Amino acid sequence: MNNKVAVAMSGGVDSSLTAALLLERGFEVVGVTMLLADAQNLSDARNVCEHLGINHHVADFRKIFRAKVEDYFVAEYLRGRTPNPCVRCNREIKFGALFDFALNELDADFLATGHYARIVFDDERFKLKKAADVRKDQSYVLYNLTADKLAKIILPLGEFTKAETRRLADEMKLPVAHKPDSQEICFVPNDDYKSFVAARKPEADALQTGDIVDANGKVLGHHCGVANYTIGQRKGLGIAAEHPLYVTRLDVEGRKVFVDAGDKLFSDELTAHDAHWIYKPTLPKTLHAKIRYGSRVAACTVAEDENFLRVTFDEAQRAITSGQSIVFYDGDEVLGGAIID
């Protein structure tokens, strides 16, 4: 009997090709789409399943998605932090609720997704590694996986470039072969997070007006709410100065946005909480880390300090931002990560 694989299908080209490849390799494949919003369009995923001749299931996760992802997203901005909803969604929803649904409700042996990352079995354990295409690599957002789950997850696109994915999808005549990639946060209309947050909590302190000040507390201008600014931001400050100014600190309680010269954004140390290790090395340890999805890996020393991690970089990093994830690598292997304080 063939192993059964449930493929998380969003209706995009990556997840669609994932299903097609696994079907071609002899797996028993079913498609499953997460229902996350009331107005969500499921037609593309359904059409691809019909094209491939596989069953399509819908898992209604609207309630848990709002509680675990959307509410977290809003709360972090209102605390003056910058959340990473994709990291949270992968932990709580895709490889949490959906993983359980696939294995328990659909009786699947594996869950497969269209992420660009690799899972390999080496040295008698499963390892999460960067994708072969470093420009498309998504291993950063998967650091909350566990060794047990890695044994039950298949990521067929880890060896491909995006161009190869498009070419194969076209060769297989998938209906979504030329569908554009989504660049927006899936639950935020028009990618306007400010309006989304304001609609949820219009009376929050972080959305009230206040002062834009320099490092000495001198008032330079006024802002429309601390939650509408992020560390490292330059545009949209509405103040004139002799040299460029950037947001360096957010004070929700004092309703202040602090700005300073660009060189003040650099720091060689951070602390982080909520650490999760796929494979925990003996600490302190010299590793490489990314402080945001789009950043380059940087050499650092990671040490434990009571209930948090203290990370010291060999070279100062720009705009270290609270609420973002720091993810640790040993070569191309993801060891784990934590939330930046």
Residues contacting residue 215 through CB under 8 Å, at least 6 positions apart = 248, 258, 260, 264
Q: In a 3-state reduction of DSSP, which class is residue 238?
A: coil
Is 224 designated active site? no
Quick one: tokens of 73?
């997203």
Rounded distance between C-alpha atoms, residue 209 and residue 220, angstroms:
14
From the candidates 49, 86, 89, 300, which is the catalytic residue?
Answer: 89
CA–CA separation, 91 and 29 (whole Å)? 23
Between CA 298 and CA 197 the distance in angstroms is: 32
- Taking the mean position of all CA atoms in its chain, how far away is CA 72? 13
Residue-wise burial string across 142-180, b where 16 or more C-beta atoms lie within 10 A, e elsewhere: bbbbeeebbebbbbbbbebeeeebbebbeebebbbbeee
From CA 91, how far away is CA 143, in angstroms rounded?
9
- Sign of the Cα torsion 201, 202, 204, 208 reads positive
Q: Which of 86, 186, 224, 300 is catalytic?
A: 186
Q: Report the C-alpha dihedral over residues 151, 155, 159, 160, rounded to 10 degrees.
A: 180
Nearest to 56 by CA among 100, 106, 94: 106
Tokens 């390799």 correspond to: 25
Q: Which helix (H) or strand (E) holds 7?
A: strand 4-8
Pairwise CA distance, residues 45 & 11, whole Å: 4
The answer to whether 41 touches 11, Cβ cutoff 8 Å, is: yes
Q: Indicate if 186 belongs to the active site.
A: yes
Q: How many CB atoms lie within 10 A of CB 306?
A: 6
Q: Which residues are catalytic?
A: 89, 186
